[in-house]
Amino acid sequence: MRENHIKNIEQEVLSDNYYILNKITFSYLMKSGQWVAQMREVYDRGDGAGILLYNKKKQTVILTKQFRMPTFMNNNPDGYLIEICAGMLDKDNPEACIIRETEEEVGYRLKEVKKVYEAYSSPGVMTEKMHFFIGEYTDNMKVNDGGGLESEHEDIEVLELPFTEALEMLHTGKIQDTRTIVLLQYAQIHKLIEV
C-alpha cells in the first residue's frame, strides 16, 4: 500500500437536501509515480444496518417489500424491491439501530442479534458502510404489524416466507437487493435453517 498517495483535497457541497452530495477534487499518486488530478462525486448518507430474521422451527425468514425510486428509474418496472429489514444508524450503534428498525419495520421485538459482516455498500460513490446481522425470531416476539413509521412516510409490506421460497426468489432474480442476497447466502452456507 502506498502512503501519502492523496493530496490537495478540496470539497464542494453540491446538495444537502436529504443527505449530502459532495464534489471532491484531489491529486492522486499513480503507481508510475505521476500525480494526476481527479474528481469524484461522493454521496454521504451515513452508515446503515440490516438483518435477516429467521425461524428455525417454522423454517421461515422475514423480508420486506417497499418502493425504491432509484430502481424504478433503472428499469425496475414497478420500483418495488424485496429486502432484508434495514435502516440508517441515526447516531445509534449498529446493534441498537437494527433492533429498533426490526420493531418499526416488521413488528418483532428482538432481545439479541448477531453481527456477521461489515462492508461498504457502493464504494465508488457512497460513504455508507453496512453492518449485517442475523436474528432468530419466534411468534411470541411479535409486538405490532410493522410497516414502518408514518412520520417517515414508510410503506413497508412484511413478508414471512419459507426459507426455500426465499432462496428460489434469489435464484430466479425476484430478489435483486445485494444486502438481501448476501444474508440469504450467509444463511444457506451456514445452514441457519435446514432445507
Q: Tell me: the pLDDT tens digits for 104-146?
A: 999 999 999 999 999 999 999 999 999 999 999 999 999 999 9
| Whole-number average pLDDT of the chain | 95
The SS3 assignment for 40 reads strand
Task: Kindly tell me the sign of the dihedral angle through the C-alpha atoms of 188, 180, 64, 135.
Answer: positive
pLDDT of residue 93: 95
Indicate which CATH number applies to the domain containing 100. Answer: 3.90.79.10
Which residue range forms the structural domain that includes residue 17? 6-44
- Give the DSSP letter of residue 76: -
Is 144 in the same domain as 60? yes
pLDDT band at 194 (very low <50, low <70, confident <90, very high): confident
pLDDT of residue 153: 75
Is 34 in the same domain as 72? no
Helical spans, DSSP H, in the chain: 69-72, 94-106, 163-171, 178-189
- Split into its structural domains, the chain has a count of 2
Distance from C-alpha of 40 to C-alpha of 28, rounded to nearest angstrom: 12
Can you tell me which residue has the cell 439479541? 112
The mean pLDDT value for 12-18 works out to 95
pLDDT of residue 2: 67
Is 73 in the same domain as 24? no
Is 108 in the same domain as 173? yes
